[in-house]
Amino acid sequence: MSETVSNQKVIPLEGTKNGVISVAKIEEPYGSDSATVASIGISLAGDADNPEWKVHIPLANLDAVIAALQNIK
């Protein structure tokens, strides 16, 4: 794959001993010419580079997802 990871931020996961939430921008996550995504991962073991759960959100959907999360808050 030709993916490029940038702007990674690692946040401690509340309620866990070592868990982290990782947020990053990934360009070409599925190979050449695939759309850039925001990647959100959760690792209970504290390994931000290899999360147990992750979601990729197309940048075109990011504003709507942020608004929905802020509404929950």
Pairing of strands 20-27, 37-43: antiparallel
Number of domains in the chain: 1
Whether pLDDT at 13 is above 70: yes
**DSSP assignment letter at 58:** E
Residue 4: its pLDDT value, please? 82
Structure tokens that stand for 48 in this block = 């931000």
Note down the domain range covering 54: 4-72
Residue 5: its pLDDT value, please? 81
Residue partners of 7: CB distance under 8 A and separation at least 6: 23, 24, 25
Rounded average pLDDT over 59-64: 97
CB 32 within 8 A of CB 16: no
Rounded average pLDDT over 20-34: 94
pTM: 0.86
Q: What's the whole-number average pLDDT of the chain? A: 94
The radius of gyration of the chain's CA atoms, rounded to the nearest angstrom, is 13
Question: Element (H or E) spanning 62, and its range?
Answer: helix 62-72
Whether pLDDT at 1 is above 80: no
